[in-house]
Amino acid sequence: MHFSTALVSAFAATLVAAHPGANVQEEAQERRDYLATAKRTSLDHCSAQLKARGLGQAAALRRRAVAEKKSKRGLLHQRDLADLNKSHHSDADYDAQTPLDTLFAKEKSCVLAPETTEGPYYVAGEFIRQNVVEEEQGVPLTLDLAIYDVETCDPITDTWVQIWSCNSTGIYSGVPSGADYTPAPENLDTTFLRGFQQTDASGALQFETLYPGHYSGRTQHIHVAVHPDASPRANRTILEATVSHIGQLYFDQDLSDRVERLAPYSANTQPVTANDKDALLLVDLESTDPIVEYVMLGDKVEDGVLAWFSFGVNMTATREADVAATYYESGGVATPKEE
């Protein structure tokens, strides 16, 4: 490990000193400011164009194929449709007769912001890999994402996309912070539930991850960043944090409730924040819907979930991400915080 203890304590002290709620409020304000200036907050205006180019249908077939391959019960049946129908932010009217192609074609979208709303947990130098689970335990989550240019509605191809989320007991890898924002320098050397994938010709990519747990002040969410100018290094890691478009994905409350009742999620002692109390999610809901579409991959929630979502990215607007730490072969190094 080559981080300095002084740096780690400075970083941990900043996290502990600031009331967790204060950071979230700040982030919420940044997100609100961005959405107020953005001409588009979703990809709804792209639907005719995507349909004309067959992109919606291609996405539906891709998701359906994954669902059928991973399904623990052979074929998907009625249960999925009822589960989806419960979605309290979905305007979908699925019923047992809804064809699967219609089900998997359902799109939700919102725009990623070229803003510094990445929160205190952004780590540079992470691995390129489809499966980010490592040794972590939890509900398997296959995440199918697609990104489109919000101005032209074209898929954004050959571009690196990064995800990161906390584990089932609400801890992030790669940052010197543990439960309830307590210092945990040993976490700098961990990399679980973080990784990069590159978009294909239809702007899509998939990750194998776990359903996220929760931590103080936040509902379950997954961070997503698009790196338009990133290039992989020989050891299959990516360092660039510049020009990143960043956002967060959320889940239906009833699904998160079911997951949280299972071990090891149920061992998490940090307080739960429901969707309707999450300051950041509430900002997005004012103008868009950042909650993923999903199907269950088996009869039990522990069999896994396939979730999908599309993002709009404004390629002409860029900013630099705020890096909490960088991961090296020798371990993680925290970035000193500026006062």
CA–centroid distance for 266 within its chain:
21
Site for ligand NAG in 150-169 (CB under 6 A): 150-151, 167-169
* Helices and strands, number each (H, E), in the chain: 8, 14
> Among residues 61 and 184, whose Cβ is nearest to ligand NAG?
184
Largest Cα separation within the chain, whole Å, is: 61
From the CB of residue 317, how many other CB atoms can be counted at a distance below 10 Å? Answer: 16
From 85, 116, 216, 287, residue interacting with ligand NAG (rule: CB under 6 A):
85
Per rule CB under 6 A, is residue 264 in the interface with ligand NAG?
yes
From 27, 35, 40, 332, residue interacting with ligand NAG (rule: CB under 6 A):
40
From 71, 159, 190, 202, residue interacting with ligand NAG (rule: CB under 6 A):
190
Per rule CB under 6 A, is residue 39 in the interface with ligand NAG?
yes
Question: Rounded to an integer, what distance in angstroms lies between the CA atom of residue 61 and that of residue 100?
Answer: 9
From 28, 171, 226, 241, residue interacting with ligand NAG (rule: CB under 6 A):
171
90 burial via Cβ count (<10 Å: 0-12, 13-18, 19+): middle
Shortest distance, position 93 Cβ to ligand NAG, whole Å: 5
Per rule CB under 6 A, is residue 235 in the interface with ligand NAG?
yes
CA atoms within 13 A on the CB side of 106: 22
Per rule CB under 6 A, is residue 200 in the interface with ligand NAG?
no
Nearest to 128 by CA among 273, 256, 236, 53: 236
Question: Rounded to an integer, what distance in angstroms lies between the CA atom of residue 130 and that of residue 66?
Answer: 14
Per rule CB under 6 A, is residue 317 in the interface with ligand NAG?
yes
From 4, 130, 137, 182, residue interacting with ligand NAG (rule: CB under 6 A):
137
From 109, 162, 237, 335, residue interacting with ligand NAG (rule: CB under 6 A):
237
CA atoms within 13 A on the CB side of 253: 11
Residues 205-234: x where in contact with ligand NAG by CB under 6 A, - otherwise, as a string? ----------------------------x-
> Among residues 5 and 97, whose Cβ is nearest to ligand NAG?
97
Per rule CB under 6 A, is residue 273 in the interface with ligand NAG?
no
Question: Rounded to an integer, what distance in angstroms lies between the CA atom of residue 296 and that of residue 332?
Answer: 35
